[in-house]
Amino acid sequence: MNLKPILSIQDLSVTYPDNNGGLHALEKLSFEVHPREFVCFLGPSGSGKTTFLRVLAGILAPTSGSVSFTPHHKPRVGMVFQQANLMPWRTVMENIMLPLELNGQVDSKAQNKAQEMIHLVGLDGFEDSLPRDLSGGMAQRVAIARALIHDPDLLLLDEPFASLDALTRERMWTELSRIWQAKQKTVIMVTHSINESLFLADRVMVLTQRPGKIKMDVEVDLPRPRTDDMRYTSHFGKLAKKLRSAIE
Amino acid sequence: MKPKTLHTLSRWLGLFSMLLAIPLWTLIVHISGLPKFILPAPVDVWTRFLKAWVDGSLLYHTGVTLLEIVLGLFVGVSFATIAGYALAKSRTLESILSPYLVASQAIPVVAIAPLLVIWLGGGIASKVVICALIVFFPVLVNTIVGVRAVSASHYDLMNSLHATRWQIIWKLELPASLPVLLGGLRIGATLSVIGAIVGELVDAEQGLGFLLQLGDFQYDTSMVFVAVFMLVFLALGLYGVVTLLERRFLKWQQ
Ligand SMILES: Nc1ncnc2c1ncn2[C@@H]1O[C@H](COP(=O)(O)OP(=O)(O)OP(=O)(O)O)[C@@H](O)[C@H]1O
Ligand SMILES: [Mg+2]
């Protein structure tokens, strides 16, 4: 991948104010992400992964360092949260349309687009359902559709499948892979699962304990599309072992 | 289907028990032999109602009270939601104002009602203000609670989509806190009836409170009963409106 990076991060640090000198969540993170790259971040709890995504999404200002995007300054982001984070008063359709609505697009074109997204995540027939009537996996798929509908420059995923059972989770991996390949997005995903990262990512970065620093940066050179069987190959095992030793 | 039948059944039972009160009441009047100016029979109240209805006075006075209530509710709810929103958003503002707010609750509105009538006169204005004051606090508290309860991750979502301040208010904070806001309105609606009557009892030339007092002075006890029943209907009506709003806007919750 020798394209120009879409995202470059320089000496990014975040310190949360507290009573004794501040809580260092992230310390001097530097790396680049290329267009259409799928990057996974692995790291222990509290290593600042969510903090990092919030900085990328523009929700949180970094304490020091810089985050720069090409071509835009303020990229369109689609974010999928750890919990589906749907608005319970909106139907599936209305939830998915939220990003368009905030851009002032509420015409039939927007409706069609939403319908298309619903189809992409396999929720046809659930347009008018309320979030309370969805299973965890369905809700998470709505969240993914919502994150994609406005054609974001960057897709940020914060442990999106952590709350799902193993079977649903693995089905979601396949779906996400498929969507990622169809939509050609740049994806940054946070996870706790080595398997998940190896199944999905082009590149896996491991963060240290707080304050988070990059401890390891591994290229995942497994062929695509990735299959279940791949998990039993020696190359997969080697990568998994490497990551595991870095996570400690 | 079953719970629904049960629901209708219990509603009929409620109506039935209310209707049962009429013969019971008649019976008590007959047995006790109390004079009409102490305890009128249902028939007397009904006759009095028809008379006041036909000459238009009842409708007029009910209308005045309703107007006071509606205006008072509007003013009270408007100020309370705006103030509540500001307080919910600013801890500093809350710590500056909360002593005053708590202290103001120690003063019963009934006690300052005469003062307000002196300042604002015996017309509608004083009643509207009393109404608004009595409605203010519960709506304020509910607004604060409602807005504070909006989930942080929903804010994150809106911010990640570059939502504007107004979009956050209209598309997140309002719908998210609506259940609690309507709960406040429910309490406020009931209290507003009390507010209007308290004001009218202090001094008024019109309204149900005035009618009530007039009946009292003239030993026209049936008239007092009519006024009280009208007040009950007003309160029930307002309660019904809030319930309808909840049905309409909180479908997602049921
Ligand atoms: N808004 C905040 N204010 C103060 N401290 C915070 C805030 N958000 C996070 N922190 C602290 O920053 C550190 C990193 O938190 P963060 O949520 O980024 O970790 P994480 O890697 O996402 O953890 P997990 O895997 O458990 O989700 C934690 O110690 C947390 O307590
Ligand atoms: Mg996290």
> What span, in angstroms and rounded, lies between the C-alpha atoms of B97 and B87?
8
- How would you classify the pairing of strands A214-219 and A203-207? antiparallel
The pLDDT of B77-103, averaged and rounded, is: 91
Helices and strands, number each (H, E), in chain B: 11, 0
Non-local (6+) Cβ contacts of A181 within 8 A are A224, A225
Q: Which residues of A are less than 8 Å from B253 in CB distance?
A: 88-89
Q: Which residue of A has its CA nearest to B178?
A: A89
Cα angle A33, A187, A195; round to 5: 105
Q: Which residues of B are less than 8 Å from A57 in CB distance?
A: 156, 159-160
Q: Other C-beta atoms within 10 Å of B173: how many?
A: 21
**Best CA proximity match to A92, nearest among A137, A123, A71, A67:** A123
Q: Which ligand gives the minimal distance to the CA of A212?
A: 1
pLDDT of residue B50: 93
> What span, in angstroms and rounded, lies between the C-alpha atoms of A145 and A140?
9
Q: Is A95 exposed, middle or buried (0-12, 13-18, 19+ CB in 10 A)?
A: buried
Average pLDDT along chain B:
91
Q: Give me the CATH code for the A35-56+78-247 domain, please.
A: 3.40.50.300
pLDDT of residue A201: 93
Angle between helix B174-202 and helix B208-217 axes, rounded to 10 deg: 30
> What span, in angstroms and rounded, lies between the C-alpha atoms of A42 and A46?
11
| Mutation site for B-interface testing, chosen from A74, A102, A142 by largest number of B Cβ within 10 Å | A102
Residue-wise pLDDT tens digits, B14-35: 888 888 888 899 999 889 888 8
pLDDT of residue A210: 79
> What span, in angstroms and rounded, lies between the C-alpha atoms of B102 and A177?
57
Residue B254 scores a pLDDT above 70: yes
Residue recorded with tokens 């300042």: B119
Q: Which residue of B has its CA nearest to A87?
A: B154
Out of A83, A87, A99, the one facing B161 most closely (by C-beta) is: A99
3-state helix, strand, coil in chain B (%, to 5): 85, 0, 15
What ipTM was assigned to the predicted interfaces of this complex? 0.88
Q: Which ligand gives the minimal distance to the CA of A25?
A: 1
> What span, in angstroms and rounded, lies between the C-alpha atoms of A15 and B76?
43
Size of interface A-B (CB pairs under 8 A): 53
Tokens of B60: 């007029």
**Best CA proximity match to A54, nearest among A14, A4, A101:** A14
The pLDDT of B244-250, averaged and rounded, is: 92
Residue B114 scores a pLDDT above 80: yes
Q: Which domains does chain B have, with CATH numbers?
A: 41-249 (1.10.3720.10)
End-to-end CA distance of chain B: 16
Residue recorded with tokens 């009618």: B211
> What span, in angstroms and rounded, lies between the C-alpha atoms of B146 and A209?
37
Out of B167, B171, B252, the one facing A88 most closely (by C-beta) is: B252
Q: Is the CB of A48 under 6 A from ligand 1?
A: yes
Kind and range of the H or E run holding B49: helix B42-54
The pLDDT of B180-205, averaged and rounded, is: 91
Residue B1 scores a pLDDT above 60: no
Q: What is the pLDDT along chain A (248 residues), one digit of tens a residue?
A: 556 888 899 999 999 988 888 888 888 889 999 989 999 999 888 888 999 999 999 999 999 998 888 876 778 899 999 889 999 999 999 999 999 999 999 899 999 999 988 988 889 999 999 999 999 889 999 999 999 899 888 999 999 888 778 887 888 888 888 888 888 889 999 998 899 999 999 999 998 887 878 888 989 988 888 888 888 899 989 999 998 888 87
Residue-wise pLDDT tens digits, B30-86: 898 888 888 898 889 999 999 999 999 999 999 999 999 999 999 999 999 999 999
Cβ separation A81–B159 shorter than 8 A = no
Q: Is A31 on the interface with B (CB under 8 A)?
A: no
Mapped onto helix, strand or coil, the DSSP state of residue A214 is: strand
Contact call for residues B168 and B158 (beta carbons, < 8 A): yes
Q: Which residue of A has its CA nearest to B166?
A: A102
CA atoms within 13 A on the CB side of A86: 30
Q: Any idea what DSSP says for residue A212?
A: B
pLDDT of residue B184: 92
> What span, in angstroms and rounded, lies between the C-alpha atoms of B199 and B190?
15
> What span, in angstroms and rounded, lies between the C-alpha atoms of A174 and A231?
14
Out of A54, A74, A90, the one facing B156 most closely (by C-beta) is: A54
Q: Is the CB of A22 under 6 A from ligand 1?
A: no
Q: Is A177 on the interface with B (CB under 8 A)?
A: no
Shortest distance, CA B8 to any CA of chain A (angstroms): 26
Q: Is A88 on the interface with B (CB under 8 A)?
A: yes
> What span, in angstroms and rounded, lies between the C-alpha atoms of B46 and B240?
24
Q: Which residues of B are less than 8 Å from A88 in CB distance?
A: 252-253
Sheet holding A154-158, edge to edge: A77-80, A154-158, A186-191, A38-42, A203-207, A214-219
- How would you classify the pairing of strands A154-158 and A186-191? parallel
pLDDT of residue A131: 95
Cβ separation B252–A130 shorter than 8 A = yes
Q: Where do the structural domains in chain A lie, given as residue ranges?
A: 35-56+78-247
Cβ separation A101–B171 shorter than 8 A = yes
Non-local (6+) Cβ contacts of B21 within 8 A are none
Angle between helix B57-89 and helix B208-217 axes, rounded to 10 deg: 130
The pLDDT of B100-116, averaged and rounded, is: 86
3-state helix, strand, coil in chain A (%, to 5): 35, 25, 40
Residue B135 scores a pLDDT above 70: yes
Residue B2 scores a pLDDT above 80: no
